[in-house]
């Protein structure tokens, strides 16, 4: 089966809730990139029934591919599942919880797999102990003992440690670090270094509630109100768009301090529209925005905010995404991409398309979420846990006038190179 891919002028951001933050706090590159849309009709793989009640440590959150890699210490299994904007994220009590809290090292329980091959829910586990702001500790690697205050816990071969959402070894933790430690019974499951974090406090968010906020090139989460968000210290381009309003501002988060972000200052005047053009090399392709068919190659006005883009062509998988529009004009170019039969062919073809499409970005300010059937993302992995914890830094460039697209371009280019 063939699928439709996007190259071009509008950069896609597959939003999810919590991504790797290894590049946060660094200035970001505005390189263009190519994204290959996944086929929508591959065979779906369901989660095992027993996994519904297991506790998993989050090893990696891939916001671009909208997948999370999980490890179950009790069964020593590593799995990877897709999630979407429709996935419900909950705290340990079952109440809605921002996806920004679901970072590597947290322990969760998962729900069923939906018809779209994505997790229906992810919930913070209520079966583990969780100690935050831990400063009085001692790590004895030789004896395998982690002491918090006067209480000793066991370090096992399954104990994991994370800093800036990247996997690290326990011996990299310094005596002056502040930690979050999670475990079950007398075993330590994960240790998270929280030193160097600060906070973003949203204000006047009413017009943007239920839309997405983009913080730098790694953090994308739904706005639920005047939220307090914990992020690594650094300078970020923060972007919002909804109901015809939107904009981008640059903010600096200092260690241990709270930065106020007044969304009234970002929304600007409005309602504003984007002149959106969709071009395609797919013969007979039908393109729909919010369910209404548009003419390929002809600009149409689209208000700032969230919109559904769908492409249908005979002989190809349907391709659907949620666009976050935040610019005066944008162009989306669609061409054909056949499904690859081998890993080697896939790598070769993606490397070629990425190279040949370099420089086609129009600098438009839009993104999209992966709301199609992203099959192939729901999968189990038998590889070692260390292989899932690799993260890549972004190269530096100016944050000035960045938006949903430019802030994530380097991250997605890196992802394609790794795949």
Instruction: Give per-residue pLDDT as tens, 237-277.
Output: 999 999 999 989 999 999 889 999 999 999 888 899 999 99
> For 349, which DSSP code?
H
Most confident region among 11-25, 255-269, 342-356 by mean pLDDT: 255-269
Same CATH topology for 55-124 and 197-267: the answer is: no
Sign of CA dihedral 340, 345, 351, 356: negative
Greater confidence (76 vs 164) lies with 76
Tokens representing 361 are: 């970005």
Tokens of 384: 């070692």
pLDDT digits (tens, 9 = 90+) for 61-107: 887 678 899 999 999 999 999 998 789 999 999 999 888 899 999 99
CA dist 241 and 270 (Å) reads 11
pLDDT for residue 19 is more than 50 = no
273-334: CATH topology is Immunoglobulin-like (2.60.40)
| Alpha carbon distances (Å) from 400 to 47, 49, 172, 237, 276 | 43, 48, 35, 8, 23
Residue 290 confidence (pLDDT): 92
The residue among 276, 305, 306 whose CA lies nearest residue 371 is 306
pTM (global) more than 0.85: no
The whole-number pLDDT of residue 116 equals 74
Find the mean pLDDT for residues 228-243: 91
| pLDDT over 60 (residue 169) | yes
Pick the CATH number of 55-124 from 3.50.50.60, 3.40.190.10, 2.40.50.320, 2.60.40.420: 2.40.50.320
Dihedrals φ, ψ of 179, to 5°?
A: -125, 155
Task: Assign a CATH topology to domain 197-267.
Answer: Immunoglobulin-like (2.60.40)
SS3 63: coil
Beta bridge partners of 3: 337
Q: Quick one: pLDDT at residue 336?
A: 52
Q: Using an 8 Å Cβ cutoff, are 410 and 218 in contact?
A: no
Tokens 């006067």, residue located: 150
More confident residue, 109 or 247: 109
pLDDT of residue 335: 66
- Where do the structural domains in the chain lie, given as residue ranges? 55-124, 129-195, 197-267, 273-334
């Amino acid at each position: 089966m063939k699928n439709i891919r996007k190259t071009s002028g509008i950069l896609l951001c597959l939003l999810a809730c919590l991504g790797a933050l290894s590049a946060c706090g660094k200035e970001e590159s505005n390189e263009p990139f190519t994204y290959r849309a996944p086929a929508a009709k591959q065979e779906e793989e369901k989660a095992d029934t027993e996994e519904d009640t297991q506790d998993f440590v989050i090893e990696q959150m891939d916001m671009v591919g909208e997948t999370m890699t999980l490890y179950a210490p009790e069964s020593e299994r590593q799995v990877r599942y897709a999630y979407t904007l429709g996935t419900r994220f909950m705290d340990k009590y079952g109440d809605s919880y921002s996806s920004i809290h679901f970072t590597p090292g947290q322990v969760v329980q998962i729900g069923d797999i939906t018809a779209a091959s994505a997790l229906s829910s992810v919930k913070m586990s209520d079966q583990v102990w969780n100690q935050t702001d831990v400063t009085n500790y001692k790590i004895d690697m030789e004896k395998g003992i982690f002491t918090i205050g006067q209480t000793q816990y066991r370090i096992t071969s399954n104990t994991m440690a994370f800093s800036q959402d990247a996997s690290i070894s326990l011996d990299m933790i310094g005596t002056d670090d502040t930690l979050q430690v999670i475990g079950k019974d007398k075993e330590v499951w994960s240790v998270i270094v929280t030193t160097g974090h600060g906070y973003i406090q949203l204000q006047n968010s009413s017009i943007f509630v239920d839309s997405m906020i983009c913080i730098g090139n790694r953090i994308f989460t739904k706005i639920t109100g005047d939220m307090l968000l914990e992020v690594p210290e650094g300078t970020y381009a923060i972007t919002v768009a909804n109901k015809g309003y939107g904009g981008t501002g640059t903010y600096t988060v200092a260690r241990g301090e709270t930065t106020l972000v007044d969304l009234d200052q970002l929304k600007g005047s409005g309602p504003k529209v984007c002149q959106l053009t969709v071009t395609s090399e797919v013969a007979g392709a039908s393109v729909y925005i919010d369910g209404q068919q548009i003419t390929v190659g002809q600009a149409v006005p689209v208000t700032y905010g969230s919109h559904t883009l769908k492409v249908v062509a005979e002989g190809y998988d349907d391709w659907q995404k949620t666009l976050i529009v935040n610019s005066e004009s944008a162009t989306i170019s669609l061409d054909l991409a056949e499904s690859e039969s081998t890993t080697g062919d896939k790598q070769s073809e993606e490397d070629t398309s990425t190279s040949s499409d370099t420089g086609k970005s129009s600098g438009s300010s839009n993104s999209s979420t992966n709301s199609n059937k992203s099959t192939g993302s729901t999968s189990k992995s038998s590889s070692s846990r260390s292989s899932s914890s690799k993260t890549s830094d972004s190269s530096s460039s100016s944050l000035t006038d960045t938006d949903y697209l430019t802030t994530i371009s380097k991250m997605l280019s890196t992802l394609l190179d790794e795949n």
